[in-house]
């Protein structure tokens, strides 16, 4: 863990280590903008009333929903397990046996499926300048287990976060359009703009964000523990 944190501390240059991964709504046709050593990210739009073919999910998943609805899951033993969600919700799904799924909603439901590849780890300790410790007014914990931590960030117009550490690779999922000033540990800053659902792959580093936009900013940050 110390090596990870040292690497993050050295990554004051991490402002350049950003990869725009696509994801403009709607997610049709389905795409896989990210497939690396820790996660496979699939983007799709579930059509109401369409029942999928029987399939399995061999890995644990993080599910991010951009529209409200219910995913009706029916297993091979006829057990039904509905999953209800709102726009902007994030959910944890364990690996799943053979089943079919049907979306129940007013219209297509855009979903980011994060299929995890990173092995579970234990004893992860976040640094003192962790964003959740430094800035609980803006960061909310959504999921925390031995594979991922998911934070929700909300910034009103003109609000900013303190400089904080991000020791792991992470996926930034904007839930609103954004125009941000991002500063690193050396004071270097740049202005970035993201569209809603325009996924960003971010490397470890230290940074602070300021909302320069004309509306509140909200995003999910999925950290992949290693």
Task: Give the DSSP H or E segment for 132.
Answer: helix 131-134
Instruction: Provide the pLDDT for residue 5.
Output: 38
Q: Give the model confidence (pLDDT) of 145-202 as tens digits.
A: 999 999 999 999 999 999 999 999 999 999 999 999 999 999 999 999 999 999 999 9
pLDDT of residue 92 exceeding 90, the answer is: yes
Share the mean pLDDT of the chain.
92
**Domains in the chain, CATH or no CATH each:** 2-25+119-224 (2.60.120.10), 31-116 (2.60.120.10)
In sequence order, the 6+-apart residues with CB closer than 8 A to the CB of 125 are 1
| Contact residues for 131 (Cβ-Cβ < 8 A; gap 6+) | 138, 139, 151, 153, 161, 164, 165, 166
Q: Which two tokens stand for residue 144?
A: 């925390």
pLDDT digits 0-9 by tens, 37-84 = 999 999 999 999 999 999 999 999 999 999 999 999 999 999 999 999
Give me the residues paired with residue 51 across strands: 102
């Amino acid at each position: 863990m110390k090596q990870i944190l040292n690497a993050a501390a050295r990554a004051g240059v991490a402002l350049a280590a950003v990869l725009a991964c696509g994801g403009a709504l709607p997610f049709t046709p389905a795409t896989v903008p990210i497939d690396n050593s820790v996660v496979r990210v699939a983007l799709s739009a579930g059509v109401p009333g369409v029942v999928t073919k029987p399939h399995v999910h061999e890995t644990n998943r993080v599910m991010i929903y951009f529209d409200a609805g219910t995913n009706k899951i029916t297993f091979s033993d006829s057990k039904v397990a509905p999953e209800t969600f709102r726009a902007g919700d994030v959910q944890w799904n364990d690996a799943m046996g053979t089943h079919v799924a049907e979306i129940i909603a007013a219209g297509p439901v855009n979903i980011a499926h994060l299929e995890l590849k990173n092995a579970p780890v234990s004893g992860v300790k976040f640094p003192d300048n962790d964003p959740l410790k430094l800035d609980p007014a803006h960061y909310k914990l959504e999921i925390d287990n031995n594979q991922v931590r998911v934070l929700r960030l909300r910034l009103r117009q003109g609000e900013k976060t303190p400089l904080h550490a991000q020791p792991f690779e992470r996926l930034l999922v904007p839930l609103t359009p954004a125009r941000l000033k991002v500063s690193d540990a050396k004071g270097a800053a740049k202005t970035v703009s993201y569209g809603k659902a325009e996924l960003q792959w971010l490397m470890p580093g230290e940074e602070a964000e300021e909302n320069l936009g004309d509306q509140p900013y909200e995003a999910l940050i999925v950290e992949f523990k290693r």
